Amino acid sequence: MAELVRRLDTVLVARLVAAAIAVVMVHYFATSNAIRADNPFLVPDAFILLSVLVSPLLPRRAAVPAMIFAFGWSAGVLTVSLFTYVVRDEFPVGHLFLIGPCLILAALLGRVVARQLVAERLAEHRSEVLGRTTVG
């Protein structure tokens, strides 16, 4: 099991989770009474749907930061939504099944960016060191 987890591509998993969140949001808009003028979450929820639909379709280099934003935005909006219920003594557990993966994947995608930056800096450093040793 640990081997499988190590071999999973974080970006691919993030793309799949974004697709799942998009399906959930489409279902939410289609089956609830969310599309109404007095819904304070209409625009933020619509932006969640837009961001999780568009960001995974971008090329990998652009998709990673876009998905970090999309997952961060989604986690923030859904957390605020969750607590609007909590203050009314309700607890919609379903929110947690969306918030959790959003937070986890935003952090994991941050690691992907950090690894890319470290690899680029190491490559630059190596080329500088090799350039100095061959010139002299």
What are the pLDDT digits (tens) for 21-79? 999 999 999 999 999 999 999 999 999 999 999 999 999 999 999 999 999 999 999 99
Q: Provide the pLDDT confidence category of residue 107 given band limits of 50, 70 and 90.
A: very high
H helices of the chain, in order, are 2-7, 10-31, 42-54, 60-86, 96-135
Which residue in 9, 30, 11 sits closest to 19, CA to CA?
A: 11
Task: For residues 136 and 77, give the distance between their C-alpha atoms in angstroms, rounded to a whole number.
Answer: 58
What's this model's pTM, rounded to 2 decimal places? 0.85
